[in-house]
Structures are given as C-alpha cells and as structure tokens.
Structure 1
C-alpha cells in the first residue's frame, strides 16, 4: 500500500500548515470569556468584522436554535443566544473555511465535512442539554471539531483511497482503525493536537481524541460520550458518511453512560432529522 507512516514531527509540521485564529475571532472569543463584558460591547466587537457578523446571523437563524422570529441584528443574537453560544458561532465561522474543503482521502466532496460537523455540533449540544452536561456549548465545539483531523490526513490517504476503502470493507473495520494501522495514528489524535494548537481546554482535546473510543476518557468522561452519540446519530441519518461511515457502530458504553435506551436513541433521531435536512449551514 503506497502510504508510509508519518513521524510525530511530520504530524506537527502538518498541523503547522493550518491558519491561526484570525484576530477578529480571537477578540470575540476573549470578549465572551470576559465577565465584565456587556451585550453592547460584545456586539460592537463582532460588528468590526463584516464576514463574522454575517456568519453569526446566518447561524443564529439556523433551525437548530428554533427561534420564532428572525434574528436580524448582532445585539439580538447576543441577547437571545448568550455569550457562550456567540463564542461557539465565532469558532464555527473560522472552522468553516477548513471544513468546507473537499477531502478525497475520505471520499467527501466540498462542503460535506462542514455540514456533517455542524450537524454533530448541534446534536451534541442537544444531547448535552438532555443529560444536563454543562456547559452545553462545550459539547457544541467538541462536536464541531471532532473530525477536523481529517483536513490534514486526507492528502496522506488520497493516493491509497481505493485500497484503504477496500481494506475497511473486507475486514468490516471502522475507517479510523485502518488509519491507525497504516499511518500510526488516526484523525481523532491529530484533531486533538489541532485543538491544543488553538489553545482549547484539555477536556475538549480529550473529547476529540476519544470520540471513537469514549470509554478511554478520564478528564470529563461524559463529553466524548456525548460527541460519540451525536456522531453516530448523524451517521445513521446519512449525514457525511463518506468512507469513514463503514462499519461504524455506537459504543454500548455510551448508551449506558448517557442512559440512552434504543427507544430514546430513536426519539433523538426523530427530533433532529428534520433540522439536519433543513439546514445547509452555508456560511462564508
């Protein structure tokens, strides 16, 4: 198979190719964390960047937030959604540029990873509310970034895509197991390193690293279970399957940890299915 394992240094070098957080988005994130920040002050910081303003308004009007009336100003968005949600939407605005790419190494056309990541983010937030895992926006961000490692790995898998896909099918193994076998690591591990590069909390790094194996988490054990369940539910509904959906199953430990019966899982999927179909998350 024409794929060689990368060294840890090569992994770090690959992560270095990713753009840093733009100043406008960093300013919004820092403002959201400032306990003395007012709604008016935060709104003014957001308004300094036209693209960020447009993206926050588009996402604030997503079916997932379910507001009866349309949100037309940043101030309305801040009041209705809260600082934590605005922070999540700012992060979403930045990652859209990365996740919107086509990923031939995973058989994903342009935009599909972005849509699937947003679906998982909103579903993870929905589950976090249900199981009372606070803060719920942490689940949103973990869901959003859970597959960001694929952005780096796609180019390394592209040359051997057909062989890797066939191997996963022949062995009936999840795609991330094949990644680890041929590369020495998987997209979840690399995604956690990207989260560290962007200075996200260790709990979020762990949630990304363990979203396929949530029982391995120790820092905030329920968070990766929430992301794993959200990812599984979205895949079952046909969102962003690609080659990574081959042989993908829900971990029994996740259903147990979150106290989700098969019936409760079906109720979740029934709830989110219309919203997944309705939204394109078309932000710039």
Structure 2
C-alpha cells in the first residue's frame, strides 16, 4: 500500500504534490490510502480510516523521528506494517545515523547533542581550521547562507557563535538533535539524487532543486546502506571527485517534478508489476 497525505483543502483527495505518485500506484493495482499530515501530532486521528496492509510505504511531507514513531505505532494498531521501521527512519533522516556509512565520501563532520553554543565551539576545535557549513541533524539554512550556514573560519569563535545563534533563531521549534559542522568543500554543477531500495541504487534523477539539470556522468558510490528506502544526493567536487552531500529517508525525499512518478512507484513495488 502507498500512503500519501490528503489535500488540506479537500481531505477526500490526495495532496496535489503527491497525486501523480498516487495515480501511478492505482494504475498498477497498488492500494492507496490518505493520511492527514496536519494531524500528525495526533497520530491515531492522522491515520483514521487507513485499511490493513502487510507492506506500506509512505510518500509525503517530512516528519520528525518522534512523529514517525507515533505514526508507525498508530498504523500498527490498525494492522498496517510500514516497510521502514522507526529506527530505520531515524538512521536515514538524521545525520549521525548515516554519517559513518559515507564517512570517506562526504565532508568531514562533527556534531553536538543539543543546542549549547559553547559545546559547538568545542566541536569546531575538533574539526580544525578553515571554512565549514552549519546545520542540525536534519537540515541546513542554505537560503540564509551568509548569516546562518557558512562559517568562513572555524577558528573564529565569535563568528561560529554568531552563525549558530542566527541558525537557532531561524530553525525555531524545528531544530533537531544538535548542531552539525561540515567542512566546506567546493562543489561544482548540479546535484543528482540517487534512490536506493533494499540497499541497491535503483534510480538516478535530478535533484528537485534543479529538476532540469542531471549532471553528466552521474554515478553512485558503492554503499553499505542496510536500509529499506533512502536517497543519496551526490555532486562533483571541483577536483573531479564524486561526493555525497546528503542521505535521507526516501519516504520524505522530494521527487523532481520533471520526471515521471511512475518510475519511482515501479521501483518501490517491483514485485507487484
């Protein structure tokens, strides 16, 4: 079964952002059920009406790991088994869960537990000197690059603190886990989004931010991703080395609007074709 959010303006319809995926699933005989994402804080209400299913995949808006845990429990009470467990979701969704798997293929990183700025300064010392990018376990504020993401020099304690305070202010209640410092690397060109099912790369698409631009020579690294459904965003570094930018849970990774959503549905439910 494919689970998708309902349209907030018409709960009897699928959210338009995911309608193409829902249609593709139905065309292939895959049952589709709607959830109320706006009610995810009350998971029993959010999943009311979802029928039983032995293998359910969610494709929808992002949830925190805690919200996903409640979501999974509420579905289990309705005899719905999510393919991705809460533990697997957290491992893919939060950087500390996936960093070690791609350590050699991604910028060097360190992180804190919580939003204590002095602890962040100590973490910066562990990473050394030079430029870095700040984020939390889930998200950066790249659209506020100069004020809340990019740190020109890790040794500049005041600069680190200033960017951290602004980042924390902008993230508000969405701040997740702790601060993460990632050593800055010079990437060139657009990112590609690779889609992995059961540890195997099954699709390479443009990144949704650049849906018309699939980098030439796009490829993917060999990774020991023991997770049911994830995405891995890759990009070329200026010296021609392929680098992993991000790993994410595939259920909440956006799909490029220029690509046929049926391709994703076919990969997710290939045993049903």
Query: TM over 0.5: same fold?
Result: no
Looking at CA atoms only, which structure, 1 or 2, has the larger radius of gyration?
Answer: 2
TM-score, L = length of structure 1:
0.24
Q: Greater helix percent: which structure?
A: 1
Highest RCO, 1 vs 2 (Cα 8 Å, sep ≥ 6): 1
